[in-house]
A and B are shown apart, each in its own frame.
Chain A
Amino acid sequence: QSVLTQPPSVSAAPGQKVTISCSGSSSNIGNNYVYWYQQLPGTAPKLLIYDNNKRPSGIPDRFSGSRSGTSATLGITGLQTGDEADYYCGTWDSSLSAVVFGGGTKLTVL
């Protein structure tokens, strides 16, 4: 059981938009910034969003992030088949003094 809660899977058609939620508590998301990672099949995770809503160099603006209260959301617009991957949210948990992750969400582009 992960500290952060994500839906196990989401799906949408190519060109459409999808959102992935990440729910936590005041000891993690409520008082710390949220980070999102993309893991393409068979590869290592890659940083996708940092500081709630910033994109590292090379990440297209189709990817966006937001945080409100104890929840965060990853948005992906203009879906492409190459976006099929597992997406993880992560943050620092002040009570656990540890980095915590969500269980991951598998995105299927139909």
Chain B
Amino acid sequence: EVQLLESGGGLVQPGGSLRLSCAASGFIFSSYAMSWVRQAPGKGLEWVSGISGSGGGTYYADSVKGRFTISRDNSKNTLYLQMNSLRAEDTAVYYCATWEYSSSWYFGYWGQGTLVTVSS
């Protein structure tokens, strides 16, 4: 059974930093690209960032480019999101998800999410 467990969320001041983690199990982690998708309170879904299975390719939404860094440790089956220069508008539940390609890119499996609140 595929399991994705996010951690690292919490309250942070504007301009601060936070690192999210996503522990994966139940599948061959290194064979899958992974992504972070966020959802602001009461709002819709927003793709944040993605990374290839090897970690050699990384992709970002314009809204976080230059502030967030995605990475992975395939030896630990763990995905990360380093978030710097955080803003109030980054407040959201952050989900990690498998990022799969059939005829186009989609999110096959999702974690339960971790809440990030940016506020003074």
A interface residues with partner B (beta carbon < 8 Å): 2, 32-33, 35, 37, 43-47, 50-52, 56, 88, 90-92, 96-104
Contact = CB atoms under 8 A, between A and B. Distances in A.
18 contacts: A2-B44, A32-B104, A33-B102, A33-B106, A35-B106, A44-B110, A44-B111, A45-B45, A45-B95, A45-B107, A51-B102, A52-B103, A97-B59, A98-B59, A99-B35, A99-B50, A103-B44, A104-B45
Contacts of B112: 43-44
B44 A47 contact: no
Contacts, number: 62
Contact of B108 (A47, A52, A90, A92): A47
Contacts of A51: 102-104
Interface string B19-61: 0000000000000000101000000111100100000000101
Contacts of A99: 35, 47, 50, 105, 107
Interface residues of B, number: 23
A91 B95 contact: no
A2 B98 CA distance: 22
Given A44-B112, A97-B59, A50 B106 contact: yes
B44 to A, nearest CB: 4
A88 B105 CA distance: 15
